[in-house]
Structure 1
Amino acid sequence: MVTSTERRAKARRVPRAESYADLRARGLGRRGIRRALEHGLLVRARRDVYLSGGESTAVQQAGRIGGRLDCISAMVERGVFVRCAGHLHIQVPANGGRLGSPDERRRPLASDGAVVVHWRDDGADAAAMLSDPVAGLAQAVRCQSPRDAVATIDSALFLGVVDECDLDAVFALLPDRYAVLRPLVDGRAESGPETLARLALRVLGRPVDVQVRISGVGRVDLVVDGWIVVECDSREFHTRWEAQVEDRRRDLALARCGYACVRVTARMLFDEPWRLVEAVRGLLECGALRQG
């Protein structure tokens, strides 16, 4: 299981490309470079562009194309939540040269739409294989639906890719129509599905609290109207039987404290968010009838 500390460390890491001169400057001779390539410790992405053999497929593809990961692809590489990763998004300077295939460096880039090229330069270090986090996040907002964009911003805040002070810069790079998303952002959300659940529940017009600590239970994802707990379960953390047993213990503890608990999976929130809304609405109506 990946911890929050490990997730934040991944979010801060920026893979870098090196030239032949860079490799020589750090002590690698011709024979050493050749052996590193043979053993997969180094990858020649394109002419005079070398990457560590341990870099992800996406980073290596960006190197072969002749750019760096940008937009939602850069966010995915940092571990930030993106609901639909879709095509590879690459940043290439406006004066960039001939682009190569992501899978074969000797072939030109096909015009089949499999790669989305953002022709711009955001000022990131020339050797960086990821776009500037602020500019990259702003571009990711433009390439997603509003709800998915808010979930990505929340995730970037939680992981420390950007901070609250950076949000002004992010929204300054966006057209004015995106300003309506700013009040919806909440960096306390620990997962994208949690953000999507919170946004879906807004239609009920009841307060939705985030990451609430309940005595005798611990921290829960969301609390609606002060008494309905919503837990967003993911396959990563809830597939083991031991984890499911612990979930049941927490549910019983919540019931003992007077809370109703609704559990929903990430897939449900992606495909059928209305099911969660209707379930919580039903509980609210039952609660109102009992009070009446």
Structure 2
Amino acid sequence: MDLEVWLNTHNGIAHRSDALDAGFTAHAIEKAMAAQRVRTARRQWLYTRRSSQALRAAAALGGRLTCVSAAQERGLWTITDERIHLAVSRNAVVRPAAHLRLHWGQPLVPVGAFELIDPVQNLLVSIADCQPFEKAIVVFDSAVRSGAVSFGELSRWQRRSKAFRRLAEATSQFSDSGIETLPVVRLRRLGIHMQQQVKIDGHLVDGLIGDRLIVQIDGHGPHSDPATRRRDLAQDARLTLLGYTVLRFDYYQVMYDWKFVEATILTAMAEGLHLLTATIGR
């Protein structure tokens, strides 16, 4: 296999020792570097253009990605954080910088010397101690939903902080993405319980408040194409004819105009639209 291709199967970056162990010769490595298809960081790390800036920074600074930076690399749902979160050893010499958030603590589980991304156990512990509740819970939900961890594992981990325990207790497996987690968390603070993934009329709805108030959340991706949009509107129409009130919000509204979302839901509840009795006599 070509060195560049091999590196790209390893997130675009690997230690020279790993490349040698994989069967690449020193000559092959030098040849790829001379052709500028492969570059180096700290002389011992080999990377291609496909590697992320965060991974290259971790290699250059002698650390590994943790917290939300590691979660992003592992494909978990995160709320954007412009900083690179880096786990470093206690004796590391790393200059503080505005774009870096350094994590000095002992990891929950050991990590190999040439690993640049924290395992899910370590990154969740770091997130619990570093991030605000909302930014942390979306990652916890995503980790459980993706199968990276289970509820049982979260409850059994040692050295868990109070913040970690709170997050573990609040974690749900029903959110397809963080955009569905946030309304549940925010409404819970108001004393409003929203059931998730309830089957009505043969289809799952994102959220149900009371008996009759349905909340649907359109995130990026699956809700963006015209065919899916038409399907969603058809479902909304069927639910309305069955006596439900359907409130549909998109990614932008949840992330950047939550006051509107909250006010709309509270208005509907004030009018009793979440109650079964509200449909009688229509």
2:174 corresponds to 1:184: no
**Deviation of 1:197 (Å):** 0.5
What does the per-residue CA deviation read over 1:19-40, in whole Å, with 9 as the maximum and x for residues that have no partner?
4343233322233212333556
Indicate conservation of the 8 Å contact 1:148/1:196, yes or no: no
Structure 1: give runs of 5+ residues left out of the alignment: 1-12, 100-108
Q: Secondary structure at the match of 1:235?
A: coil
**Deviation of 1:204 (Å):** 5.0
Indicate conservation of the 8 Å contact 2:142/2:177, yes or no: yes
2:128 corresponds to 1:132: no
Q: 1: distance between equivalents of 2:145 and 2:78?
A: 14
Q: Secondary structure at the match of 1:81?
A: coil
Cα pair distance change 1:68/1:15, threshold 3 Å: farther
1:165-180 equivalent positions in 2, closer than 5 A: 165-169=152-156, 172-176=158-162, 178-180=164-166
Shift >6 Å, 4+ stretches: none
1:1-292 equivalent positions in 2, closer than 5 A: 15=11, 18-38=14-34, 42-51=38-47, 53-96=49-92, 98-99=93-94, 109=95, 111-122=96-107, 123-169=110-156, 172-176=158-162, 178-216=164-202, 218-287=203-272, 290=278
RMSD: 2.7
Structure number with greater CO (CA < 8 Å, separation at least 6) is 1
What does the per-residue CA deviation read over 1:122-146, in whole Å, with 9 as the maximum and x for residues that have no partner?
2112222111211211111222211
Q: What's the TM-score once normalised by structure 2's chain length? A: 0.82
**Deviation of 1:263 (Å):** 1.2
**Which residue of the partner structure matches residue 3 of structure 1?**
none
Q: What's the TM-score once normalised by structure 1's chain length? A: 0.80
Q: Secondary structure at the match of 1:64?
A: helix
Indicate conservation of the 8 Å contact 1:81/1:155, yes or no: yes
Q: 2: distance between equivalents of 1:131 and 1:149?
A: 16
Counterpart amino acid of 2:59? G
**Deviation of 1:270 (Å):** 2.3
**Which residue of the partner structure matches residue 5 of structure 2?**
none
Q: Which of 36-45 and 23-32 deviates more?
A: 36-45
Identity of aligned residues (%): 24
Q: How many residues align?
A: 267
Q: Which of 279-288 and 134-143 deviates more?
A: 279-288
**Deviation of 1:262 (Å):** 0.9
Indicate conservation of the 8 Å contact 2:12/2:49, yes or no: no
